Amino acid sequence: MRSYLDFEKPVAELEAKVEELRALGENRDAVSIADDISRLEVKAADALKDLYGKLTPWQKTLVARHPQRPHFIDYCAGLITEFTPLAGDRKFAEDEAIVGGFGRFRGQPVCVMGQEKGHNTETRIRHNFGMARPEGYRKAVRLMEMADRFSLPVISFVDTAGAYPGIEAEERGQAEAIARSTEMQLSLGVPNVALVIGEGGSGGAIAIATANKVLMLEHAIYSVISPEGAASILWRDAARAQDAATNMKITAQDLLRLGIIDGIVTEPVGGAHRDPQATIEAAGNAIEEALHDLGNMGPAEIRDHRADKFLAIGRKL
């Protein structure tokens, strides 16, 4: 059953009428209502296109958090064959907020990892809503070290509200683990590509998004803090999250203009949750193109390319 966001109510009403007419049409005694259904479908499609053509930053935030949006395991299943997950950081424990391992991306051996939020109550609790603890980032470091050793490209899928802020995570060195993961990415001698598929929140995202190529889905967001968190700090009022979202420049379009990211992956009209398979295919094409652009570089060139990219951020504003 499709879930609608608050601002999608006009579309929801039209599509509900379409479903009602279809149910009536199943009655053999009912008059032909095919024309009415077609007319309403066109009207709903036009309304959806118009709505998503002018989303505000806050509305994009809601779309990025949509519960039916495809998550890491969906991209992994759709793009990676022969996937073999690895568990544990060999220091403390397994953290299922970050899932990672090795497989083949369109025939090419790769290391792949990403934050997994979960699809229902059970999986969301198991994956801690995609908020990793230190052991999750140390597992990511372990995976990247192996990828570097065997000359395998690294693909990261970013989707987290941020690293887990619990006391036990701080006790086990959350900041240090994030820094180590970021440092590991900067030192990789193999190409790495990161795609923000939903939320890219704070250091929790940066830890696996410090890549040669950083891409974003059209309605994803990427920021140093959530709009609610920024509003609480700036105005002492979380209700002003919409104002914060607008001023923070968290959308893919703003970040591409500012030189923070390298490309935008177009989503189907209505967002990735409307057509997950088309979104996953488009994401795969963008990742393939990015890896191809980096394919002829040696380890030193790869490191220099990555360093130059991040050092250039903010210098041409």
Which has more pLDDT, 316 or 118? Answer: 118
What pLDDT is stored for residue 32 in this prediction? Answer: 65
Dump the DSSP string for 45-82: HHHHHHHHTT--HHHHHHHHT-TTS--HHHHHHHHEEE
Please name the residue that has the structure tokens 């690293």. 163
Query: Does the pLDDT value for residue 257 go beyond 80?
Result: yes
Phi, psi torsion values for 113, nearest 5 degrees:
-150, 160
CA distance 158 to 114: 6
Q: What tokens appear for 150 in the block?
A: 């065997």
What pLDDT is stored for residue 30 in this prediction? Answer: 53
What pLDDT is stored for residue 238 in this prediction? Answer: 85
Which residues, 6 or more positions from 298, have their beta carbon under 8 angstroms from its beta carbon?
Answer: none
Which residues, 6 or more positions from 192, have their beta carbon under 8 angstroms from its beta carbon?
Answer: 144, 153, 154, 155, 156, 185, 211, 212, 213, 306
Average pLDDT rounded to a whole number, residues 211-230? 95
Q: What tokens appear for 37 in the block?
A: 């259904």
Q: What tokens appear for 148 in the block?
A: 């570097």
Percent of the chain past pLDDT 70, that is, above it, reads 97
Average pLDDT taken over every residue of the chain:
93
Sign of CA dihedral 47, 52, 56, 58: positive
Query: Does the pLDDT value for residue 123 go beyond 60?
Result: yes
In tens, the pLDDT along 222-237 reads: 999 999 999 999 999 9
What does pTM read for this prediction? 0.92
What pLDDT is stored for residue 25 in this prediction? Answer: 67
Q: Fill in the amino acid letter for 186.
A: L
CA distance 233 to 104: 44
Query: Does the pLDDT value for residue 316 go beyond 80?
Result: no
In tens, the pLDDT along 6-26 reads: 899 988 888 888 888 777 766
In tens, the pLDDT along 93-112 reads: 999 999 999 999 999 999 99
Could you tell me the end-to-end alpha-carbon distance of the chain, in angstroms, rounded to an integer?
45
How crowded is residue 240: how many other Cβ atoms within 10 Å of its Cβ?
17
Phi, psi torsion values for 112, nearest 5 degrees:
-135, 140
Give which of 166, 164, 198, 179 is closest to 74, Cα–Cα.
198
pLDDT band at 292 (very low <50, low <70, confident <90, very high): very high
Give which of 261, 242, 245, 243 is closest to 253, Cα–Cα.
261
